Amino acid sequence: MDNAFADRLRKKSFLLPKAYGNEFVKRVFQRKDMLFSLAALLLFIGIALFAPLISPYDPNAIDLKNKNLNPSEEHLLGTDYLGRDLLSRILIGARTSLFIASGVVFISLFLGTAAGCAAGYYGGLVDESVSRVIDIFLSFPGVIFALAVMGVLGSGVFNLMLALSIVHWAKYARMMRGQVLSIKKQEFILSAITGGAGDFYIIRKHIVPNAIATLLVITTIDFGHVILSIATLSFLGIGLPADVPEWGAMLSAGKEFMRTAPYQTIFPGLAITLIVVIFSILGDGMRDILDPNHEGGEIY
């Protein structure tokens, strides 16, 4: 990161300067894979926002007379073993998955950024203590840890959000700690300290802005990981209540009918796959654009 950009950061808030925002947008429009992924993501978000309005049926309406129906004009994606319309459940499931994933990512981002900044900036006992806690959390497989937390808390939207936040915050903290350790050695940080700037001011005005690029990349990719974790826990039957439409729970229910009604697993599986691939492509694309070590990626 050059001195001119550092000078701008010293004078401005934590937001990236407008010129660099424009350059970022320009680079995005030069990549067809990112444009396609952004369009698909906007479609998913639109579906999530308006799912109750565009769903043709009540997603929880049971109709045993029409159970396990093949896709038809009346039920475009068929019905499940209780006669519930699959299209309606998939549409509402998009709302469920994106809502929970957004909560998990932003809670994890806030907690991880705060912990990582404290550890990297203050060092010493603070760094040692936070680092050991991070190591403990990262030593457990994420899904197994979430299973244990859900076993204690029980199923529910808030409990699932809390359990996955406990699992995911540590990766943000470790990344942010590494960023702070690197950034705080820069001359403009030393100048700010010499000039009498407070710790919170330095972190907010100088350190966080210089870590935004990395935060954007890891946050985008983590959205896909969180959605996959939500589906995994629901597939195992401990994520959400039965009356909450969710793609993983639909996969679990449909696996009993793989031979007679494979569409009950195919369509929810496709939804999960698509949204995870979309976030992966967006994350990789932003890394390529924002990473100064990547060819053609430095916009700072």
Per-residue pLDDT of the chain (300 residues; tens, 9 = 90+): 444 443 443 443 334 444 456 777 777 778 888 889 899 999 999 999 999 999 999 998 888 888 888 898 888 899 988 899 999 999 999 999 999 999 999 999 999 999 999 998 888 899 899 999 999 888 888 888 888 888 888 888 888 999 899 989 999 999 999 888 888 877 878 787 777 777 788 888 888 888 888 888 889 989 999 999 999 988 888 878 878 899 998 998 888 888 888 999 999 999 999 999 999 999 888 888 776 555 544 444
Assess contact for 290 and 217: CB atoms under 8 A.
yes
Residue located via tokens 């990395």: 214
pLDDT at 85: 92
Sorted by sequence, the CB contacts under 8 Å of residue 266 that are 6+ apart come out as none
Q: Within a 10 A sphere around the Cβ of 128, how many other Cβ atoms?
A: 11
pLDDT at 223: 92
Assess contact for 234 and 246: CB atoms under 8 A.
yes
pLDDT at 91: 94
